[in-house]
Amino acid sequence: MPRPHGFAYTQRPDGTVLITHQGRAAGTLRGPRAEEFLAEVESGDAQLVMARWTGAYKHGNERTARNHPRNRG
């Protein structure tokens, strides 16, 4: 499974965190969730953390599901 890429985040002066994926908004975090996100991003792989928090990551079963007989269409 390829590593996630193309994510970026911006921390605004009011404490809000905006997460983007390839230049498009993928999520906005405020308050305690923003603080928790920032702490996790500092301690781990930032791209993977942002992918998890936005839900924009692959689970690894997409190819299997696409090749299933009922999905071949």
67 versus 17: which is more confidently predicted?
Answer: 17
pLDDT band at residue 64, thresholds of 50, 70 and 90? Answer: low
pTM of the model: 0.71
Q: Could you give the percent of the chain with pLDDT greater than 70?
A: 79
Q: Which residues of 13-51 are buried (b: 16+ CB within 10 A; e: fewer)?
A: eeeebebbbeeeebbebeeeebeebbebbeeeeebbbbb
In this predicted structure, which of 17-21, 58-62, 69-73 has the lowest mean pLDDT? 58-62
Please say if the pLDDT value at position 67 is more than 80: no
pLDDT for position 42? 92
